[in-house]
Amino acid sequence: MLPDRRILERTIFPYILERKECHRIVFVGCRWYTKRYSATFADKDYCTIDIDPKQKKYGAKNHIVDSLENLATHFKPNELDVIICNGVFGWGLDDKPAVERAFAASFDCLRMGGLLVVGWNDITKRRPFSLDECDALRQFDRFSLEGLGTWRYKTRSFNRHIFDFYAKGKEV
Ligand SMILES: C[S@@+](CC[C@H](N)C(=O)[O-])C[C@H]1O[C@@H](n2cnc3c(N)ncnc32)[C@H](O)[C@@H]1O
């Protein structure tokens, strides 16, 4: 298993699974290898979203075909506990205004203390711009994930996969 997938599945997912306050979860972007996450999160209220209708078959029972930009048309404000957006920025969600809309909608839909996980690749081809220049992400607090001890965790993967953790307000 690649180092980034191992961190996602063996450190980040357990953190979420162990916390009953992390119940309503949206996972962004589906592929064949994410299909089994429905079973991982079977005891949670787990929903998936992907802009590409072809990926529906890999999504949760509760799957949305749409862009993350439109998350607020599917969820009420403050409704979600966790959003996991891994490998989407730089993999289709590239345009700066679209990224701003996507993370602004994520902020609106998360409850106070809710967690946003952004996984991205720090290589030219997959980094449309610096995420540190994203205004919507500046609304969040940086959150140091237990077990990783930092808000920005650089994995040892060949494609420089990084996980950033953001909280809406302090509590998670
Ligand atoms: C490289 S795959 C990542 C899949 C998965 N999230 C993971 O952990 O590997 C990128 C996926 O993001 C989806 N995607 C791209 N832009 C999107 C957007 N604006 N909103 C929702 N999904 C998007 C693509 O259709 C594709 O299925």
The per-residue pLDDT for range 86-97, each reduced to its tens digit, is: 999 999 999 999
Count of the separate structural domains present in the chain: 1
Percent of the residues in the chain that have a pLDDT greater than 90, as a whole number? 98
Please indicate, yes or no, if residue 131 is contained in any of the structural domains.
yes
- CB neighbour class for 157 (10 Å; exposed up to 12, middle 13-18, buried from 19): middle
- Taking the centre of ligand 1 as the mean of its atom positions, its distance from the CA of residue 142, in whole angstroms, is 23
Please indicate, yes or no, if residue 37 is contained in any of the structural domains.
yes
Does the pTM surpass 0.75? The reply is: yes
Please indicate, yes or no, if residue 99 is contained in any of the structural domains.
yes
- Taking the centre of ligand 1 as the mean of its atom positions, its distance from the CA of residue 91, in whole angstroms, is 6
For residue 108, the SS3 value is helix
Q: What is the per-residue pLDDT for 171? A: 55
CB 37 within 8 A of CB 27: yes
Residue 91: in which H helix or E strand, if any? Answer: none
Please indicate, yes or no, if residue 142 is contained in any of the structural domains.
yes
Tell me the C-alpha distance between 111 and 29, whole Å. 21
Please indicate, yes or no, if residue 133 is contained in any of the structural domains.
yes
Q: Is the dihedral of CA 17, 105, 38, 91 positive or negative?
A: negative
Tell me the C-alpha distance between 3 and 171, whole Å. 28
Name which of 166, 89, 95 is nearest 127 in CA terms: 89
Please indicate, yes or no, if residue 172 is contained in any of the structural domains.
no
The CATH number of residue 90's host domain is 3.40.50
- Taking the centre of ligand 1 as the mean of its atom positions, its distance from the CA of residue 87, in whole angstroms, is 6
Please indicate, yes or no, if residue 163 is contained in any of the structural domains.
yes
CB 166 within 8 A of CB 141: yes
Ligand 1 atom nearest to CA at 84: 6
Residue range 108-133, pLDDT digits in tens:
999 999 999 999 999 999 999 999 99
Tell me the C-alpha distance between 22 and 3, whole Å. 24
Q: What is the per-residue pLDDT for 110? A: 98
Ligand 1 atom nearest to CA at 98: 19
- Taking the centre of ligand 1 as the mean of its atom positions, its distance from the CA of residue 31, in whole angstroms, is 8
Q: How confident is the model at residue 1 (pLDDT cuts 50, 70, 90)?
A: confident
Name which of 14, 65, 68, 77 is nearest 41 in CA terms: 14
Which residue range(s) make up the domain with 142? 3-112+121-167
Give residues (CB < 6 A) around ligand 1.
28-31, 34, 49-52, 55, 67-69, 86-88, 91-93, 102
